Amino acid sequence: MKIGFIGLGIMGAPMATHLIDAGYVLYANTQGEFPASLREKGATVLDSAREVAAAADIVFIMVPDTPQVHDVLFAANGVCEASLAGKIIVDMSSISPIETKEFAAKVRTLGAQYLDAPVSGGEVGAKAATLTIMVGGESSAFDRVKPLFALMGKNITHVGENGAGQTCKVANQIIVALTIEAVAEALLFAAKAGANPAKVREALMGGFAASRILEVHGERMIKRTFAPGFRIGLHQKDIRLALDGARALGVSLPHTASVAQMMNACVAQDGANWDHSALIKVLEAASNFSLDPVQS
């Protein structure tokens, strides 16, 4: 089986690496610099998405947002300019569920199957092959691609039809954003009250408040390690998708709207490329108190 991969950024590069390490022939294209490690492992570098789709049986896409997926699929030299009969297109980006359904319908008219398979777990999960993968699309396509998903992730769920994977990812991003904000509030409160935030975090990890976000992002907040595993600018985009969907559905998401404003404030402070755990900086500014000088 020949595999195509389009988009070799902070997430795509390690994901593609797991596939080539498993012995698959890999054809790839990316907008940025092609990772030297993949080239050394034997990946074939191609000049366009169309060439990748022509060469591969299954094509993975991992790019930042809905417009980029649209261009990969439908722009000049895009995937859909190749003959797609019998192929599977797998979009692992996090994009609009509504437009995903439209993309899938167009791809199916060209004889291919389409899966939307966004992921959660960030750069750490991509490198460790422990991503959570949420999949929408036909069962037959899912069954064919699942062994490849298993090389990139651990928790792999076929959620439903096309668009269901993206809807699940939006729900995931709501929970993650609100939990990061809650952890930030808790640690800021504890530190301002005179408690050691590292010890508070340690204690909370043994109780009902324990979470992966408290474990990983709480540590980032305390240690001030805001180099991105997942950029605020990307999470801001996901929350925008949530609020756009809520508006279309007539659903009230008041706290999601609030955290969106906090992300906007981070971006206004040139923080689009901060890790999303840096959301705490907005609360610190509002409280005129920072964990930064706290001995932990």
Which residues are part of the catalytic machinery? 169
Any residues with CB less than 8 A from the CB of 13 and at least 6 apart, and which? 35, 37, 38
Q: Please give the Cα distance from 133 to 118 (Å, whole number).
A: 6
Q: Which stretches of the chain are DSSP H helices?
A: 12-21, 36-40, 49-55, 66-74, 97-109, 122-128, 139-149, 164-192, 197-204, 212-223, 232-249, 254-268, 280-287
Any residues with CB less than 8 A from the CB of 162 and at least 6 apart, and which? 100, 101, 104, 105, 114, 115, 116, 136, 137
| SS3 call for 182 | helix
Residue with token string 């199916």 = 108
| SS3 call for 269 | coil
Q: Please give the Cα distance from 108 to 121 (Å, whole number).
A: 29
Q: Please give the Cα distance from 86 to 105 (Å, whole number).
A: 15
**DSSP-derived secondary structure letter, 125:** H
Q: Please give the Cα distance from 144 to 189 (Å, whole number).
A: 49
What DSSP line would sit under 140-168, residue for residue?
Answer: HHHHHHHHHHTTTEEEEEEEESTTHHHHH
Q: Is 118 in contact with 176 (CB distance < 8 Å)?
A: no
Q: Would you state the structure tokens that stand for residue 85, as one six-digit string?
A: 């009969």
